[in-house]
Amino acid sequence: MHLLSNPDLLVRIASWSAFAVGGLVLAMLGVISTSRLVLNLRERRRQLFLATWRPLLAESLEEPLVLLPPVSKFDGTTLLGLWNYYYESLRGDAHERLAYAAGRVGLDEIARRHLRARSRRRQLLAIATLGNLRHAESWSDLERLALHESPMLSITAARALIRIDAQRAMPALVPLFAAREDWPPATVAAMLSEAGPAVASGPLATVVDQTAIEHLPRLIRFLELADPHHGLPPVRRLLENPPEDRIIAPCLRVLARFADPHDLSRVRRYLDHPRWHIRAQAAAALGKMGTEDDVAPLTRLLVDKEWWVRYRAAQALVGLPFLDGTGLKKLTEDQKDRYARDILAQALAEKEMA
Amino acid sequence: MTLADVMGVVQVLFLAYFVLLNGGYVMLNLISMITLTRYMSEHSLTALPQAGTGLEPPISLLVPAFNEEATIAASVRSLLQLSYPEFEVIVVNDDSKDRTLDVLIREFSLRPFPEAYRVRLKTQAIRAVYQSTDHPNLRVLDKANGGKADALNAGANVARYPLLCCVDADSILQRDSLRRVVQPFLEDPRTVATGGTIRIANGCEVSGGFLVRAGLPRNLLALFQVIEYLRAFLFGRMGWSPLNALLIISGAFGLFHKETLISVGGYRPKTIGEDMELIVRLHRVLRQQGRKYRIVFVPDPVCWTQAPEDLRTLRNQRIRWQRGLSDSLMMNRALLFHRKGGAVGWLAFPFILVFEWFSPIVLVAGYAFTLTAVLTGLLSPPALLAFLAVEIGLGVLLSVSALLLEELSFRIYPKLSHVGLLFLASLLENFGYRQINSWWRLVGLYRWATGAQARWGEMKRKGL
């Protein structure tokens, strides 16, 4: 205490600061210890719950269980987590059986309660559950959440809507797929694959004309997941008079994906484009759909100044079904340019390895 | 002005420095607390199976290897088992003097491959490229010696995928490390680099190249480093990341957008701290170009590394780190208060410069000053006691707040006794460990300033 009333002001300040800091340290330690104790108790409760419910859910996969024990409000989150874990791990009939078990235990009500929780973790679990349960009554809530600014919340809600009714969800979601740059393309592609081309193709094709140019390259990439009947016409239209260079490469990818011989002339037009990534994409597309007429232009690209163009041209040549090993060997030997020979040798070696 | 007056002024200066330093850390701590809490709830569903889409961008893992014959096969085998949809492993043998290359050829059935790679980053000559016939996603480069940075640049030249993950050969990764560290690239297309939390592997149980049980080391030096790493990652990096002002991604494990890395010139071979220098340069160049970009820290523990357990190795490491820090800051000093510098140029860079780069001088001078003042009677024992109490108290407070962050997030160390032991370590490190560290860093600063030849020193490794 002598320090706290020291005549020197600096010493007094330092002493009081040390005192305060010590108090803070003790308080933090208290928080850590209490939190760890609470957590241990919760973990013990969770383990007990899981010990009962894991076998029950596993059993319900074999035969529908009519009687299931009631779930206390403290165990709701654990049950949601466990149920979703099973649901995401399994496929086919198991989903129906899990849905039946969920119905017996009132999982939808638990999820609805969690949807109103403040905790983001609980909300996410609730959204995933409602989607997996195909809970149509939650449609409007999920639709609202799909517009939420949080990418994680909105994507999870979008996925839930697709699971509930993909046909109904698509017209509202496709514009978001194009515009929400914070939705990872891989996740969007997974959602479109889940919906299936029969459902996704129409809305994707329709929305192309209404999409702003800045979002167009992103949207065109998703057309690869459409069926050719819907996927090709908008791409062909765009390639007639491309509004911007950066939409050409994604369009060429779509043409390569469907490999329709009618598009050959459209692809060949871009083999000499000043932008290298467009030339590379055109070469890759010819690898999927090219004819004997394309061997010469592709061979010419083997000496392109850009490595990727040379590589894609070599891969395209090696992949052409009518060029066999002897033909490719002769083509390699005929090359006077070292870069052309090297890149063809690499593409051939890669093919052999595969 | 009397000597007492001068001492008084110096005392106030030290105090101001001390208050600003700790104030800065407290601010970083608060930012981390908010960010970490949000991150943990936002990413809670990633624990579910099928959380990945299977369509994540492919990754090229670059593994520089120099004299790693004892461990390289196990390391590569564990890398090949990572859980990620599409990736390749490129081991770069940097002219090892032992049998590293022979081991790789034998263990992975390598055969020469006619790779027509592009030399986009200038490196020492590549003698041969090998392809594994057992693992189509494994290639090995054999090149003339040029150091770690040069090896990574060579790897970048032959990498086929858009994202490059630079990994130390002795890093122990979580099986889902790539899936976690790629998330910022999926969530924001402006992302150019990400790094995750590195943890200390000493005291942990490792099996098949993966960590199976977290534990604390018995060695006191390693235990102190556990505390240091918690502080450095959970609020040192987590605090700067939301401001897009992260100045380092550990060389042990970092993920980069390949084209951006190449556009800034790749790793700088002549630098000691090539990992930090690259990140500071990325900030500088991208800021100067006015490009929109993000360098993101992922708090998930993605990589475990072995910490030195003897004073000599630790000393070499700390001297090297300080020299690396000096190089990184001085080579990119144009970032400091640059008009386009943003938070990194106006906050993080000056903070690191004043409170990390310059701190060994202030701390050692502070100790010397205090000792002199006590010996000459200018500082009374009660004053010494009070100032020491604040200094140690704040040090402990920052360590305990890192423990709190750990408690709020990952709780890697499961037992309450672990928390107790870490608390004890955070107390004990104030009596000798922190001071000797400051001294080593001062030596590093001196060697950097005098341009003494840099040496890596030998890392003594224990089997895990």
How many domains does one find in chain B? Answer: 2
pLDDT of residue B5: 80
Q: Of A110, A133, A156, which residue sits at a domain end?
A: A133
Chain A: nearest CA to B181, how far in angstroms? Answer: 14
pLDDT of residue B346: 96
CATH number at residue A325: 1.25.10.10
Residues B17 and B127 in one domain: no
pLDDT of residue B266: 96
B40 reaches A (C-beta below 8 A): yes
Q: Hunting for tokens 């932008």 — which residue is that?
A: A275
Q: Is residue A296 part of a domain?
A: yes
**Optimal mutation site among A13, A16, A32, interface B, most CBs of chain B within 10 A:** A32
pLDDT beneath 70, residues of chain B: 46-55, 453-464
Q: Is residue A342 part of a domain?
A: yes
A291 reaches B (C-beta below 8 A): no
Q: Is residue B176 part of a domain?
A: yes
Q: Of A116, A133, A150, which residue sits at a domain end?
A: A133
Q: Is residue A29 part of a domain?
A: yes
Residues B361 and B426 in one domain: yes
Q: Is residue A287 part of a domain?
A: yes
A88 reaches B (C-beta below 8 A): yes
Listed range (A58-67, A81-90, A261-270, B176-185) with the worst mean pLDDT: A58-67
Q: Of B160, B187, B205, which residue sits at a domain end?
A: B160
What tens digit of pLDDT does each residue of B56-105 get?
A: 889 999 999 999 988 899 899 999 999 898 999 999 999 999 999 999 99
pLDDT surpasses 70 at A338: yes
pLDDT of residue B53: 59
pLDDT of residue B51: 57
Q: Is residue A77 part of a domain?
A: yes
A39 reaches B (C-beta below 8 A): yes
B411 reaches A (C-beta below 8 A): yes
How many domains does one find in chain A? Answer: 2
Q: Is residue A312 part of a domain?
A: yes
pLDDT of residue A129: 95
pLDDT of residue B407: 86
| CB-closest option in A22, A29, A311 to B393 | A22
pLDDT surpasses 60 at A1: no
Contact A18 B389 (CB under 8 A): yes
B413-422: long-range contacts, CB 8 A cutoff, minimum separation 24: B413/B214, B413/B215, B413/B216, B414/B214, B416/A33, B416/A36, B416/A37, B416/A40, B418/B215, B418/B216, B419/A32, B419/A33, B419/A36, B421/B216, B421/B223, B422/B216, B422/B223, B422/B226, B422/B227, B422/B230
pLDDT of residue A325: 81
- Domain with A90, as residue range(s), is 1-133
Give the ipTM of the model, two decimals please: 0.79
Q: What mean pLDDT is predicted for residues A295-314?
A: 94
Q: Is residue B55 part of a domain?
A: no
Residues B119 and B227 in one domain: no
Q: Is residue A181 part of a domain?
A: no
pLDDT surpasses 70 at A348: yes
pLDDT surpasses 60 at A8: yes
B130 reaches A (C-beta below 8 A): no
Q: What's the pTM value of the predicted model, to 2 decimals?
A: 0.85
B453 reaches A (C-beta below 8 A): no
- Report the percentage of chain A scoring pLDDT > 90: 66
What part of A 158-197 touches B (C-beta under 8 Å)?
Answer: 181-182, 184-187, 189-190
Residues B326 and B282 in one domain: yes
pLDDT of residue B49: 57
Residues B153 and B247 in one domain: no
Contact B50 A124 (CB under 8 A): no
pLDDT surpasses 60 at A180: yes
Contacts of A351 in chain B (CB under 8 A): none
Contact B383 A11 (CB under 8 A): yes
Contact A33 B419 (CB under 8 A): yes
Contacts of A346 in chain B (CB under 8 A): 113-116
- Domain with B99, as residue range(s), is 61-160
